Homo-oligomer: A and B are copies of this chain.
């Protein structure tokens, strides 16, 4: 996930702090929302579903602790990440904060770089791309085995089963020339017999979709997947 896809809501009654934190997070590319009390924060959260809420503990109307509890109480938004802001040295209030369901606790005075680091540490796991075991990245394109697509210039190209399997086999030989016989044995199986033009037709269709240079012919020998 990109930073620009991540929304952070800042909640503090002091406009200066809002401005200061917003500036620092904005510089990292995050989308930033602001609210000046817990009540307004809750409305914004329900509406915009931010990924992270940074709450000042001390606020009029509805303080940070109370806001945090409200967030955790509502199943729709309960999994929102929450960071508390508080004055230094109030160790006991930290405990209360975590018990209310905070994910982190940052003490004032705030040092921009430290602040941003903590935010990033908390968001890091959000950004992780779900593990994809089946993606092959080549020079010109990416093959996604599990989705049956090839991505070229940010374009999704879908191949049909036979094309995909043939391509996959050629790619798996990383650049080596493979004879038609080997291709037949590996893609079709030793016992299946098909005409000799069958491969050509599939190769042609792959070339049509991925570009003429994707597969190179070595006349009299076989084919190879293009490399550099």
Given contacts A98-B120, A117-B94, A117-B98, contact A133 B103 (CB under 8 A): no
Which of B103, B137, B148 sits near A121, CB closer than 8 Å?
Answer: B103
Q: List 29 A-B contacts (CB under 8 A).
A: A75-B132, A75-B134, A76-B135, A79-B125, A79-B128, A92-B113, A94-B114, A94-B118, A95-B113, A95-B114, A97-B117, A98-B120, A99-B117, A101-B124, A102-B121, A103-B121, A105-B118, A105-B121, A146-B176, A146-B177, A147-B175, A147-B176, A148-B177, A148-B224, A158-B218, A160-B219, A161-B218, A161-B220, A161-B221
**Closest chain B residue to A98, Cβ basis:** B117
**Distance (whole angstroms) from the CB of A179 to the closest CB of chain B:** 11
Which residue in chain B gives the minimum CB-CB distance to A103?
B121
Smallest beta-carbon distance A171→chain B, Å: 13
Closest to A93 in B: B114
Instruction: A49-B137, A101-B124, A161-B218 are known; give 9 further A-B pairs, CB within 8 A.
Output: A79-B132, A98-B121, A104-B104, A104-B121, A105-B118, A105-B121, A130-B174, A147-B176, A148-B177
Q: How large is the interface on A (under 10, 10 to 19, 20 to 34, 35 or more residues)?
A: 35 or more
Residue pair B94, A147 in contact (C-beta under 8 Å): no
| Residues in B neighbouring A128, C-beta threshold 8 A | 79
A contacts, CB < 8 Å to B: 49, 75-76, 79, 91-92, 94-95, 97-99, 101-105, 111, 113-114, 117-118, 120-122, 124-125, 128, 130, 132-135, 137, 146-148, 158, 160-161, 174-177, 218-221, 224
> Which B residues are in CB contact (< 8 Å) with A94?
114, 117-118
Q: Is A117 within 8 A of B95, CB to CB?
A: yes
In the complex, the chain B residue whose C-beta lies closest to that of A121 is: B98
A126-B142 Cα distance, complex, nearest whole Å: 19
CA of A26 to CA of B79, assembled, Å: 27
Task: Determine the chain B residues whose CB is within 8 A of the CB of A176 once the complex forms.
Answer: 146-147
Chain B residues within 8 Å of A97, by CB: 117
- Chain B min CB distance to A164 (Å): 9
